[in-house]
């Protein structure tokens, strides 16, 4: 056994381990697991079923990946799994359950950070660069767009979506889709503003940020229904890529629709130029 694999770890000989893989004490690696180069597995980790971890993924102590879904419709023995993209970090005591669908996968993208004691349920899809903060509960069939952030203790109902670069405040209750670039908070969560700080950090131009703020005001401050607001956005604002992405997301909203407007006195972040 390699010095990089603790002697107390239980590694099925059929598991596929690339070079430089490290596995901590008392961890269990199942027969269908695939670990690419540079993967680091902490102590007391369990990887079961079809778990595939990309290069340099880190899984911290006590996490369980590939466990059976918590879904009464799931049939034991369904061939499904979990896929995690390169460079992602999964912290302590996180649970990620495998798909309910034959040959399906629960997917976490590249360079994500899933913080301690969070849960990612069956059939979810987290795009690249997503951050999930401690104790968040991502229920089945949810989708989270790239570089979105989900606050601690947040709960999502099944089949909801969070758009790219959105920000969900801590302890939020998500019962509807969160459009891209939008900051939401509350129980139930409502739209507060465009995530200006996150977009600035991501390198989006000031012009595009201001255009998104104009789109937000039409969507959430005009009193129009979402479908009519989308029409007005298309009529009045430049057809920049972020705006197209926003309206396409709204047009494709799930059975839950999109989060509603905040009814209080929300202070919208001011755009800083220069």
Position 101 in a domain: yes
Domain match, 216 and 99 both = no
Domain match, 210 and 118 both = no
Position 163 in a domain: no
pLDDT, position 274: 33
pLDDT, position 37: 98
| Helix/strand/coil for 149 | strand
| Helix/strand/coil for 250 | helix
Query: DSSP character for 45?
Result: -
pLDDT, position 190: 98
pLDDT, position 272: 41
Position 264 in a domain: no
Position 221 in a domain: yes
Domain match, 136 and 205 both = no
What is the SS3 assignment for the chain?
Answer: CCCCECCCCEECCCCEECCCCEECCCCEECCCCEECCCCEECCCCEECCEEEECCCCEECCCCEEEECCCCCCCCCCCCCEEEECCCCEECCCCEEECCCCCCCEEEECCCCEECCCCEECCCCEECCCCEECCCCEECCCCEECCCCEECCCCEECCCCEECCCCEECCCCEECCEECCCEEEECCCCEEEEECHHHHHHCCCCHHHHHHHHHHHHHHHHCCCCHHHHHHHHHHHCCCCHHHHHHHHHHHCCCCCCECCECCCCCCCCCCCCC
8 A C-beta contact, residue 177 and residue 157: no
Position 92 in a domain: yes
Domain match, 118 and 208 both = no
pLDDT, position 266: 52
Domain match, 121 and 237 both = no
CATH code for the domain in which residue 33 is found: 2.160.10.10
pLDDT, position 235: 97
Position 156 in a domain: no
Domain match, 14 and 127 both = yes
Ranges of residues in the chain with a pLDDT under 50 are 272-274
pLDDT, position 57: 98
Position 214 in a domain: yes
Nearest to 216 by CA among 243, 248, 188: 243
Instruction: Give the chain's domain count.
Output: 2
Owning domain of residue 228:
201-251
Which residue numbers are catalytic?
122-123, 140
Residue 69 neighbours by CB under 8 Å, 6+ apart: 97, 98, 99, 100, 121, 122, 123, 140
User: What are 100-125's pLDDT values in tens digits?
Assistant: 999 999 999 999 999 999 999 999 99
CATH code for the domain in which residue 208 is found: 1.20.1180.10
Position 192 in a domain: no
Q: Tell me phi and psi for residue 244, to 5 degrees.
A: -60, -40
Q: Is 141 left (phi over 0), alpha (psi -120 to 50) or beta?
A: left
| Helix/strand/coil for 26 | coil
Domain match, 29 and 116 both = yes
Domain match, 26 and 118 both = yes
Domain match, 21 and 113 both = yes
Domain boundary among 118, 141, 164: 141
Domain match, 135 and 207 both = no
Domain match, 133 and 210 both = no
Domain match, 88 and 210 both = no
């Amino acid at each position: 056994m390699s010095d990089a694999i603790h002697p107390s770890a239980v590694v099925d000989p059929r598991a596929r381990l690339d070079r430089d893989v490290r596995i901590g004490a008392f961890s269990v690696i199942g027969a269908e697991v695939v670990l690419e180069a540079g993967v680091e597995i902490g102590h007391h980790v369990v990887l079961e079923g079809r778990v595939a971890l990309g290069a340099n993924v880190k899984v911290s102590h006590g996490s369980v990946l590939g466990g059976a879904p918590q879904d009464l419709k799931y049939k034991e023995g369904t061939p499904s799994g979990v896929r995690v993209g390169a460079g992602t970090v999964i912290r302590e005591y996180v649970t990620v359950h495998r798909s309910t669908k034959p040959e399906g996968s629960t997917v976490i993208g590249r360079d994500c950070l899933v913080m301690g004691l969070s849960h990612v349920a069956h059939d979810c899809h987290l795009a690249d660069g997503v951050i999930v903060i401690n104790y968040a509960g991502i229920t089945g069939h949810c989708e989270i767009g790239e570089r979105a952030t989900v606050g601690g203790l947040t709960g999502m109902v099944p089949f909801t979506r969070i758009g790219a670069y959105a920000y969900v405040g801590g302890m939020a209750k998500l019962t509807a889709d969160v459009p891209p670039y939008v900051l939401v908070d509350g129980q139930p969560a409502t739209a507060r503003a465009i995530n200006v700080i996150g977009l600035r950090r991501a390198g989006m131009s000031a012009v595009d940020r201001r255009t998104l703020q104009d789109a937000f005001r039409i969507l959430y401050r005009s009193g129009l229904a979402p479908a009519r607001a989308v029409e007005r956005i298309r009529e009045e604002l430049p057809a920049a890529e972020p705006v197209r992405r926003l309206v396409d997301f709204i047009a494709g909203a799930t059975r839950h629709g999109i989060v509603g407007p905040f009814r209080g006195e929300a202070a919208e972040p001011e755009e800083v130029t220069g």
